[in-house]
Amino acid sequence: MNLNFIGNKNKFFGFSISVIVLIIIATIINGVKLDIQFQGGYIFTYSYDGEVDKDRLESEISKALNKQVSVQKTTDITSGSNRVVISFGADKSLDDKMQQNLKNLLNNKFSKNNFKEIQVNNVDPIVGKEFFAKCMVAVVFAAVVMIIYIAIRFKKIGGLSAGVTAVIALIHDVILVYGTFIILKLPLNDHFIAAALMILGYSVNDTIVIYDRIRENKKIHGSKIPFGELVNKSINQSFTRTINTTVTTVLSVLIVLIVAYIRGVNSIVSFVLPLMVGMIAGTYSTICIAGPLWVVWREREKQKRLSKISNSK
């Protein structure tokens, strides 16, 4: 196999930039919705009998509480009972009147469904913001550690630039995971942070495999072939392994997604779907972004050195 990844790098870069622009536009149109864990609020869990119109339930509760609420229908896996999760943001404590209004609404307008309160959780707005900040610090810290690790491991072939371009590719993957939440209008929650951290580890592993191949080929060929050709050769040699690994992993995750969707376990669906998108994005960025971007970096460094030499003469 001898695909010209480096020769088509501008097409890959253009495609990724176009997708990121679309995500920015979607963010402007749809806005960024933070879940209760990050903005603070209340989560009510009820069991119910029969069938319930989710849209009607959401509309009626919003009117009763005079708040924008989110309603999710789920199924308890152990008991098989139907459950509904009602959540909404709040910057102050929920008073007894609002709680009573919610109970009266469910008892009066949905009396046939026999709603029973299972659990009530509340998240303080300050705690939610602190949790979000700590999660973002974790993502940034992971990225910095990866740059340092790659810089040390591949220092003989320009490790720092390899680390920076690898992390740029990882940021590309996290943006696509974020875009999945925005386009599907899912609230950003701990699932987003968990998926982002998992993709950071998953994607960088594939990138390091290719970097290892570049290092080995550098030992074999030295400076006999241009760096771009060396990287392209290394990507082609690792291509089948990378694709096979991704296909196997994505198929496994897809099975989980299908089962969760059929069973109505929305909490798993909202985590697994962005994770699967991130895995595919990670494979793409490993092959089409990290290596080619490293080549661009090295070529510019070479041009600067040649320019300095010519100017000194």
pLDDT tens sequence across 231-253:
899 999 988 888 888 899 999 99
Q: Is the pLDDT reported for residue 90 higher than 70? A: no
- The answer to whether residues 191 and 240 touch, using CB atoms and an 8 Å cutoff, is no
pLDDT in tens, 101-110: 788 888 888 8
pLDDT in tens, 182-206: 998 888 887 888 888 888 888 888 8
User: Average pLDDT, whole number, for the chain?
Assistant: 83
- The answer to whether residues 77 and 263 touch, using CB atoms and an 8 Å cutoff, is yes
Q: Is the pLDDT reported for residue 22 higher than 90? A: yes
Over residues 220-228, mean pLDDT = 82
> What confidence score (pLDDT) does residue 14 get?
93
Of the chain, the percentage scoring pLDDT greater than 90 comes to: 14
pLDDT in tens, 248-279: 999 999 998 898 888 777 778 888 888 899 89
Superfamily of segment(s) 127-312: Multidrug efflux transporter AcrB transmembrane domain (1.20.1640.10)
Could you confirm whether domain 41-123 is CATH 3.30.70.3220?
Answer: yes
Boundaries of CATH 1.20.1640.10 in the chain?
A: 127-312
Boundaries of CATH 3.30.70.3220 in the chain?
A: 41-123
Question: What pTM was computed for the model?
Answer: 0.78
